[in-house]
Amino acid sequence: MTVQEQSLAGGPVVEEVLDVKAERYYYATQRQLIWWRFRRHRLAMVSLILLIILYLIAIMPGFTAPYLPVTRFEDRQQSPPTKVHLFDENGSLHWPFIYALSRELDQATFKYIYTEDTAVRFPIKLFVKGETYKFWGLWETDWHLFGVGADGPPMLLFGADELGRDILSRTFYGSRISLSIGFVGVLLSFFIGVTLGGISGYFGGIADEIIQRLIDFLLSIPALPFWMALAAALPRDWSVTKTYFAITVILSIIGWSGLARVVRGKLLALREEDYSLAAQAAGASQPRIIFRHL
Query: How does pLDDT run across 157-203, given as a tens digit for each residue?
Result: 999 999 999 999 999 999 988 888 888 888 889 999 988 988 888 88
pLDDT per position as a tens digit, 21-76: 667 777 777 788 888 888 999 999 999 999 999 999 999 999 999 999 999 998 88
Residue 6 has pLDDT above 70, yes or no: no
Instruction: Identify which of 268, 250, 288 has the alpha carbon closest to the alpha carbon of residue 197.
Output: 268
Is 68 in a helix, a strand, or coil?
Answer: coil
CB 172 within 8 A of CB 57: yes
d(CA 245, CA 181): 6
The span from the CA of 120 to the CA of 232, in Å, is: 55
Closest to 247 measured CA to CA, from 193, 191, 181, 192: 181
pLDDT tens digit string along 211-227?
A: 999 999 988 888 888 88
**Contacts for 10 with CB less than 8 Å, ≥ 6 apart:** none
Q: Measured between alpha carbons, how far is 54 from 49 in angstroms, rounded to an integer?
A: 9
pLDDT tens figures, 96-153: 999 998 888 888 888 888 888 888 999 999 999 989 998 887 889 999 999 998 888 9
The burial of 96, by beta-carbon neighbours within 10 Å (0-12 exposed, 13-18 middle, 19 or more buried), is given as: exposed
- Whether residue 9 has pLDDT greater than 70: no
Residue-wise pLDDT for 234-286, tens only, equals: 888 888 878 888 888 888 888 888 888 988 888 887 777 777 778 778 777 77
- pTM of the predicted model as reported, rounded to 2 decimal places: 0.74
